Structure 1
Amino acid sequence: MCGILFSIQGQRTDSQEAYARTWATLQELNSRRGPSAQDVYTVSLAQDEISSRVGLMTFYGAVLHLRGDFVTRQPHVSETGNVLLWNGEIFDGIFVGHHQNDGRVLMDQLDKLSLDKGIKDHTSAFLGIMAKIEGPYAFVYYHASSNRVYFGRDCLGRRSLLWHKEQQIEGGMDLPFILTSVGYSSFKSDLLPLDEVPADGIYCLSIQSNGIKSLDRYPWIPSTIDQRVEQESLYTMQLPFGRVNSTIPSEDQLSEPFPENLKFDQAHPEVVPPVTEDMKRAISDMIEALGDSVRRRVQDIPRTGMIHDARVGILFSGGLDCLCLAALADKFLPEGEAIDLLNVGFENPRSEKARAMEEALALKRLKKQGLSNSNNHTGENNKPKAPSTKYNVPDRITGYESLSELRRIAPHRHWNFVEVNIPFEEATAKRSEILERIAPLETVMDLSIAMAFWFAARGIGYIKNEQDEMVPYTSQAKVLLSGLGADEQLGGYSRHKEQFKTASWEGLIQELQLDLDRISTRNLGRDDRIISDHGKEARYPFLCTNVVQFLSDLRVDLKVDLRYPRGVGEKIILRHVARELGFDRSSSHWKRAVQFGARTAKMTENGRSEIGQQVVGREGQ
């Protein structure tokens, strides 16, 4: 994971001051993403050898060392004048050896392409290389001989990339033009505005001596689209996965529903839907596909700290998705090596106040009934109670429940359950900084989710030592696994249930396709900007394109069967996978949004009236 920053700057005096402030701010912000090394490289734009410089391209790269035996600095610059800024990971599609840096390997491939005299169409060949890559990325690539700059994000948008682009003008595009991994709040009116680059294709700038001649897009297209249909661009790239399987299951394909006399509205661990032969095959294939995805994301992480430091952390709510990732990561890391389970909880005064009122009302009812501790001599109410703490949020409770099962099935693994406890005052103090990192997003829901991930990724908390005492601990893991993508593909949200109630299997399939289509615009860029602010990299095994392809091909009822109640039917295949991995009780956990599980939502009385899509105001900035 890296921070990449690029600009094309002209000589207009009216924009120089704002550009200088913007560049200095962005360079500092991107340096946080890559603490291992930082470099700058410039290319002058001129009409010919004797003309004066009329434009300047600047490339800045900040590197977080996660691939190869040593730190490989960037920008990557070749002898032919090509320049590459690379913020990504190549897990498949192009071979990268255990001791190699993937950015360097990609640059070598692109240089071979440039030197191959037999290639008549460089753009088509370049897009062919990029389309082969399996892994998250954002990049900027300058091809010197054609004077073109290519840039973009992977087809799922797993890495952040923002741009500042001025309006089109006659003969080209106004300058300055900026690309950056991370940005700032729109409230900073003295800096140039930024927007997210859509993950809908690869873009190309044709460069001329005084700036940009044109901006083109080469789109991703689904493999199911008839190639004879005229496209909006001469050049296209085929998506590495197809559309969601639209087959409606027949009655004989569906598993038997629960008996009519078995009525419940939420999960019971001992109640398991029947497993058909189709489901057995799907479970086995899912474990293989997801396991391979996890293996590729944990096997080559260099050790930069002490021998006992964890190299891998997991954003761990104790839910089904992260629990399966933990069990699979255990299979592919050396025995005895620690894995950090980062579990975040916030002090939420509004929730604490509500809980205190509920306890007071309950005590009042007991006293009224003559059942308070002072009057009750049965001893029932005198049993010792678990200590109450302001950080016993729902995800903390679920996290410890799942931890006990992890330790049962993998007793050799050293599981560091990191309690990341955030006081209300600290959350309030960091609110403005976190709001900066999610920009250009700025809704209440984005901020609530980002606060949980920002503090969890920071990794400062407490773990229990061998004497069962809580001691301070800071996670050194640079790679954090996230379960994002499971709910979108396996029907984990309440809206999937509503669609099934309203429009049966057809409506559910449409909702699953919609979630996959918009996943790049909803949260991935935001999460990348938030987590990387601490020099950490998020990796998403459920969004490996091979896993997405497998799940897209799978018949809908094998992924999600909403005839069953909550905690049973949603993400049904993953529940079966969890049981296969040895989790009995935790296989019935259901989806809880992070802002409610960690209690970052509505932290004050003023927040009671806030809605998720409301734009966060200037107060507290």
Structure 2
Amino acid sequence: MCGICCVFSSVDGSDQHTHEQSRLAHRGPDRSHQCSLNLACGLKATFIGHVLHLRGNCLATQPAEDAYGNLLLWNGEIFDGIEVPDGESDTDVLLAKLGCCKNEDEILATMAQVHGPWSFIYWQKDNQSLWFGRDMFGRRSLLWHLPSDWKDEFYLSSVKLDNKVHTEVPAIGIFKLTPPASQTGCYSITVFPWRLAVWPGTLEPVQQDFSNRLSAGQSLSEGYVQVTLSSNEVPSHRPTINRTFPPDGLSRPPALPGQSHLEYLQDPKEAGSDDENVLQTSEQYRKLSDQLLSVLLMAVKTRVHNHVPLKRQTVINDSSVDSTVEQNSNGCNSLDMPDTCMKSEARIAILFSGGIDSTVIAALADRCVPIREPIDLLNVAFEQIPKEQDKRRKRCEHASESNRWSVPDRLTGYTALSELNPDRPWNFIEVNVTGEELKITREAHIKELVYPLVTVLDDSIGCAVWFATRGCGTLGNGPHQGARIVSTARVVLCGMGADEQLAGYSRHRNVYQAGGLEALNEELELELSRISARNLGRDDRVITDHGKESRFPFLDEKVVQYLAGLPTHQKACLDLSRGLGEKFLLRLCAVQLQLMSTSTLAKRAIQFGSRIAKLENSKEKATDVCDRL
């Protein structure tokens, strides 16, 4: 991934933004570059790129420029849809294709072909137009600041750069900006919406209340910024879900008294019915789980093979960039572990709670990575502080070291590790975070990455993911167990997206119990529409801050298409109990992968599994505005 930024400012304005790039530069530790263009209207356009080199034999420069003077800032991966030959940079391939586009339709068609996570900024010289946007799932961050007058800058950036108000560019389509022709003119922004585009977090089409929603959180000056919604829709990869009801009489039988969840998963026929439909269902589920494993395996394979094994190197700075980032060889930023830490030597890491989503990804990654190559399992825990009554009972003695970090995700993490391939050199990295370290680091750094999101949930998840993916901790297994270690992996596989598609949240069960399958279908349709608004931009900002890239196999376009095409009753069976009925199809996949204990684990969110939520005000609600941010 990369840190990308574009600023439109008056020619005689300040260049302060060029000196406040530490958060932006963390995202791209391998090369930094910027260039500026003076526009006829008296504005200056500044393009800034910080490159994390993952693809191509040669280290590319961003912004990339073609022979026609077009500029591209690309924060993404092309996994499919557009061919990227081995050894070539997808930035160069995309720039070449965009440079050949003769009109708006061809630009839109080119971006619609891309499979993979992305945000981009493209300056089209001939038309003096700026194109930008995020993929339909919002897997990459892009913030903007809309100007209120001539002296105010227009910003596009992966992260917040200064104290101006920023909001996330909504993942509703492709944007085209035309700068003002004179100081009395205005910025013109046209949005070409994705097919089936709705406002993030809703099922309401983008045509409703367009101007107000587009600028939500910012004051939009009608005299200075004009927005238009085009009737020209862009083809999207977001499917509609299959709302087919099960045939009459076809249902899964209840588990027998005393029968474990694992026994039920391994042999549904043993549930005590000889009905022919049950046998047919069993055979069908085997076929479906085979198919899901196949598309997931391909998604994981693409994400672990599609980058170069490049060791961390000193930042290559263009002379025009004032970079304030301190880098060193272990891959952490200026909030580093000591240099005495051993390095994992892994290329791939997994955000690993021991839950079914991350463990299935780990088992599939094991099939894709050479067997002697290590894989890092990043497991985060927050310090457990005894309650006052416990302190009195223990006479204020400190809890043992093991008890301090025995959070649920640590325990399930080790259980899951025991079920993974024993011939693989797994590095189980215990990332232990004290309350004091959390407080200091959040205030000094993390809250600026979580911004512009502000809820208690954003705080908890943002902090937990930041510490986990930094990968600095203690090795929990192997011959060097107990050693301080830092993950060298530049690619982090994450399990986000499974719950939204496979009815994994408790609210899905509540919806189903209240309104049946029809209501559940409606909720799952809503889940797909709001993925971009809920967390992925935030997760991109906190993970890539370490000079690492997040990749989400469950949000691969082909995986999403496959799961959306299945009727809901084939993916989840919410008449069955918790730890069995939700994500039912994925549980069968886990059994096939011999992840027996993992296959029946109930959903546990990272803020509870890591116990970060217990360090804060227990009376807070997830949706409350967090005063720590």
Counterpart for residue 304 of structure 2: 298
TM-score between the two structures when normalised by the length of structure 2: 0.83
Counterpart for residue 402 of structure 1: 416
TM-score between the two structures when normalised by the length of structure 1: 0.84
Counterpart for residue 245 of structure 1: 242
Show CA shifts across 1:583-603 (max 9, x none): 112100111010010011141
Structure 2 residue matching 1:497: 3-state secondary structure: helix
Counterpart for residue 96 of structure 1: 84
Structure 1 residues 464 and 396, CA gap change in structure 2 (3 angstroms): closer
Of 250, 262, 269, 1:269 maps to 262
CA contact (8 A) 1:241 1:552 kept: no
How much has 1:388 moved relative to structure 2? 4.1
Of 393, 414, 419, 2:430 maps to 419
CA contact (8 A) 2:255 2:264 kept: no
Counterpart for residue 327 of structure 1: 363
Counterpart for residue 197 of structure 1: 169
Letter in 2 for 1:6: C
Letter in 1 for 2:159: V
Q: Please state if 1:24 is matched with 2:19.
A: yes
Structure 1 residue matching 2:194: 3-state secondary structure: strand
Structure 1 residues 466 and 417, CA gap change in structure 2 (3 angstroms): closer
Letter in 1 for 2:539: D
Show CA shifts across 1:64-111 (max 9, x none): 011112311110111111110000000000011221111111011112
Structure 2 residue matching 1:599: 3-state secondary structure: coil
Structure 2 residue matching 1:480: 3-state secondary structure: strand
Partner Cα distance (2:142, 2:355) in 1? 30
CA contact (8 A) 1:223 1:238 kept: no
Letter in 2 for 1:254: S
Letter in 2 for 1:615: V
Counterpart for residue 582 of structure 1: 594
Structure 1 residues 308 and 421, CA gap change in structure 2 (3 angstroms): closer
Q: Please state if 1:454 is matched with 2:426.
A: no
Partner Cα distance (1:97, 1:111) in 2? 18
Deviation larger for 216-225 or 392-401: 216-225
CA contact (8 A) 1:602 1:610 kept: no
Structure 1 residue matching 2:179: 3-state secondary structure: strand
Counterpart for residue 440 of structure 2: 429
Partner Cα distance (2:264, 2:289) in 1? 18
CA contact (8 A) 2:344 2:485 kept: no
Partner Cα distance (1:387, 1:152) in 2? 47
Which aligned pairs between 1:47-446 and structure 2 lie closer than 5 A? 54-113=42-101, 119=102, 122-167=103-148, 175-183=152-160, 191-210=163-182, 212-222=186-196, 233-259=230-256, 262=257, 268-272=261-265, 273-274=268-269, 276-305=282-311, 309-349=345-385, 352-353=386-387, 356=390, 388-406=402-420, 410-432=421-443, 433-446=445-458
How much has 1:337 moved relative to structure 2? 0.3
CA contact (8 A) 1:316 1:341 kept: yes
CA contact (8 A) 1:9 1:177 kept: yes
CA contact (8 A) 1:315 1:342 kept: yes
Structure 2 residue matching 1:95: 3-state secondary structure: coil
Letter in 1 for 2:458: D
How much has 1:215 moved relative to structure 2? 0.6
Show CA shifts across 1:537-591 (max 9, x none): 1100000111111111101111111010011100000000001111112100111
How much has 1:467 moved relative to structure 2? 4.4
Of 29, 32, 57, 1:35 maps to 29
Structure 2 residue matching 1:271: 3-state secondary structure: helix
Using the aligned pairs only, state the percent identity. Answer: 40
Partner Cα distance (1:613, 1:358) in 2? 34
Counterpart for residue 324 of structure 2: none
Q: How many residues align?
A: 553
CA contact (8 A) 2:355 2:413 kept: yes
Partner Cα distance (1:467, 1:23) in 2? 47
Structure 1 residues 519 and 223, CA gap change in structure 2 (3 angstroms): closer
Structure 1 residue matching 2:350: 3-state secondary structure: strand
CA contact (8 A) 2:384 2:403 kept: no
Structure 2 residue matching 1:56: 3-state secondary structure: strand
Gaps of 5+ in 1: 48-53, 114-118, 362-385
Deviation larger for 82-91 or 583-592: 583-592
CA contact (8 A) 2:453 2:538 kept: yes
Partner Cα distance (1:74, 1:598) in 2? 37
Structure 2 residue matching 1:221: 3-state secondary structure: coil
Partner Cα distance (1:561, 1:161) in 2? 37
Structure 1 residues 559 and 411, CA gap change in structure 2 (3 angstroms): same
Counterpart for residue 316 of structure 2: none
Structure 1 residues 287 and 45, CA gap change in structure 2 (3 angstroms): same
Indicate the structure (1 or 2) with the bigger Cα radius of gyration: 1
Show CA shifts across 1:486-513 (max 9, x none): 0011011000000010001011111111
Of 597, 611, 616, 2:621 maps to 611
How much has 1:464 moved relative to structure 2? 4.1
Structure 1 residue matching 2:512: 3-state secondary structure: helix
After superposition, the CA RMSD in angstroms is 2.6
Counterpart for residue 506 of structure 1: 518
Structure 1 residues 345 and 254, CA gap change in structure 2 (3 angstroms): same
How much has 1:175 moved relative to structure 2? 4.4
